[in-house]
Amino acid sequence: MPRESGVLSDVGSTDLHPASACRTVVIVHRARDINSLGEAARSFARSSSGRVVTVATCSAAVVRLALGDWSFGDALGVLAVVVALGPVEWIIHRRLLHAEPGSTLAELLGTRDSHERHHRDPDDMEWLLLRRPNAIGSCLAIIAPVALAAGGLSLLGVSSARAIGATVVSAGLVALLHYEWVHLLVHSRYRPRSRYYSQLAKNHRLHHFRNESYWLGVTIDTGDRLARTLPADRSAVALSETARTLG
């Protein structure tokens, strides 16, 4: 039986005919076609990155709740993640995503190639968010080292190591989820209301369209402040001819 037609948008549409229960979903291919938080949320929920990181984050939270044994160490663990977030985000962006051509690690992980594609066409949803293998790898990069450290400390008699380790993993995955969500928003037509996120969006546009060596922080600018890549006056930074090609 043929489906009734309606007016389509890039984030899906409901038929205009009340009698029809069908819903046509069209995947967004361009971030600039996202105009609201609702549209962004639907696009994020349909993305491989959104699904993988959300499942990983929720699973880690369930494990943490099941372990119990809450202590002051959990607060310290979350604080450590928050403090490390800016520098770690900057290092990953600069050393892996913007790695020099021929970098063995970047080529092995495919980070430079995928990020170069993103810079060539920043609104292309295929390269804006992490692809499934990269999303899984990013989650494992958070989980594996913390789990190994917590397991080792537990064997040495630190009774709360596993619980605190689960807290750190959960916080790290929340940070990754936040990164992906913010990255989608700053490329959409939605304009954040808060001053903090508005500034993040402005900085990221400058990174893409003025100079790729500056404004490397996506969710936090402490890494840029430490590395002095957050100029107070954007006009002091030369327009880069390689902002779209990464050199």
> pLDDT tens digits, the chain, 247 residues: what are they?
443 333 333 333 333 334 434 444 446 789 999 999 999 999 999 999 999 999 999 999 999 999 999 999 999 999 999 999 999 999 999 999 999 888 888 888 888 899 999 999 999 999 999 999 999 999 999 999 999 999 999 899 888 999 999 999 999 999 999 999 999 999 999 999 999 999 999 999 999 999 999 999 999 999 999 999 999 899 999 999 999 988 7
Dist CA 177 CA 55 (whole Å):
10
Q: Which residue has the tokens 């993988």?
A: 52
Torsion of CA 102, 107, 112, 116, to 10 degrees: 80
Cα–Cα distance list, 175 to 30, 106, 138, 238, 245 (Å): 24, 22, 11, 31, 28
**Residue 30, SS3 per DSSP:** strand
